[in-house]
Amino acid sequence: MNWIFLLIVLLATLGGGLIPMVVKRVNPNFPIYMLAFTGACLFGITIMHLLPEVYHELGHQAGIYIVLGFFLQVALQTLSHGTEHGHTHVPTDKHQHVHLAPLLLGLSIHAFMEGIPLGFRFHDQAALSSLVIGVAAHKLPEAFTLITVMVHAHQRAPKLWRILILFSLVTPAAALLASELGAHSAFISSFTAYIVALVIGAFLHISTTIFYESGTKHHELSYRKVLAIAGGLVLAFLTLIFE
């Protein structure tokens, strides 16, 4: 397992969570465009790099698990309230109570799932380096939204730091676990391919939700958001140079 890749994902998560902790007044348009850019990047990398890998590994069965992964993410969303794609419905009014346990559970399950493909042995070596870019890009708004919800819920700084650090470690830990177990067991290595297919479904759900819902009114697409989406897709296409 490449430790630099894990460090990139870890730092991206910490960086995303630090923004609402350090910057007192974040421009309300910033998370919209950040989500659009990173969502488009994740979508492009998923289609161009991950899909070919799982179909090569699983054949037509891959489609079944991708669909299951899509709806698994729908189920996880009932716990995480859509924090993965920045379209959270968590109450932030001071008179309402945020149920931290289910929110963190749902988001941690998702974070663990998205770390597993980072420990998968891809046939195309460009797939892993490209995936690191996509996952790191996704972790920025994911951590940003999580900590923003916590700040609005009036959580104290020490607790914010604990949540952010622990959450930042989930995805790298899942990648290490998948890599080590896969290296010592052919069964686990082949089983990981099914998990990757599930994660693809989750990524497709998250990225497409970002396109059409997050930060928009009546599903509007402003030209700035279109430009952000285009920028994310360009970054995804640039990963083809790793081929």
pLDDT for the residue numbered 42: 92
**90 domain residue, yes or no:** no
Backbone φ, ψ for residue 185 (5° rounding): -150, 120
Average pLDDT across the chain, whole number: 84
**107 domain residue, yes or no:** yes
Which of 179 and 243 is assigned the larger pLDDT? 179
**23 domain residue, yes or no:** no
pLDDT for the residue numbered 95: 41
Alpha helices in 100-185 (DSSP H): 100-115, 125-152, 157-184
Q: What is the DSSP letter of 104?
A: H
**154 domain residue, yes or no:** yes
- Residue 189 confidence (pLDDT) above 60: yes
| pLDDT tens for each residue of 2-48 | 789 999 999 999 999 999 898 878 887 888 888 889 989 999 999 99
**91 domain residue, yes or no:** no
**118 domain residue, yes or no:** yes
pLDDT for the residue numbered 55: 93
Share of the chain above pLDDT 90, in %: 43
> What tokens appear for 34 in the block?
């950040």
Q: Rounded to whole angstroms, what are the CA distances from 60 to 13, 51, 56? A: 34, 11, 9
Share of the chain above pLDDT 70, in %: 87
| pLDDT tens for each residue of 52-87 | 999 999 999 999 999 999 999 888 877 766 666 555
Cα–Cα distance for residue pair 95/47, rounded to 1 Å = 43
Cα–Cα distance for residue pair 181/172, rounded to 1 Å = 14
H or E stretch including 197?
helix 186-212
Containing structural domain, residue 148? 3-18+29-83+98-242
Terminal Cα distance for the chain, rounded: 19
Backbone φ, ψ for residue 216 (5° rounding): -120, 160
Yes or no: say if 16 and 142 are a contact pair by the CB < 8 Å rule. yes
Q: How many domains does the chain have?
A: 1
Weakest mean pLDDT among 98-102, 124-128, 172-176, 213-217: 213-217
> What tokens appear for 99 in the block?
């149920």
Yes or no: say if 204 and 136 are a contact pair by the CB < 8 Å rule. no
H or E stretch including 77?
helix 61-80
**136 domain residue, yes or no:** yes
**184 domain residue, yes or no:** yes
- pTM value is 0.85
Q: How confident is the model at residue 98 (pLDDT cuts 50, 70, 90)?
A: low
Q: For 177, how many CA atoms within 13 A lie in the half-sphere containing its CB?
A: 12
Which of 225 and 176 is assigned the larger pLDDT? 176
128 closest CA partner among 64, 196, 69: 196
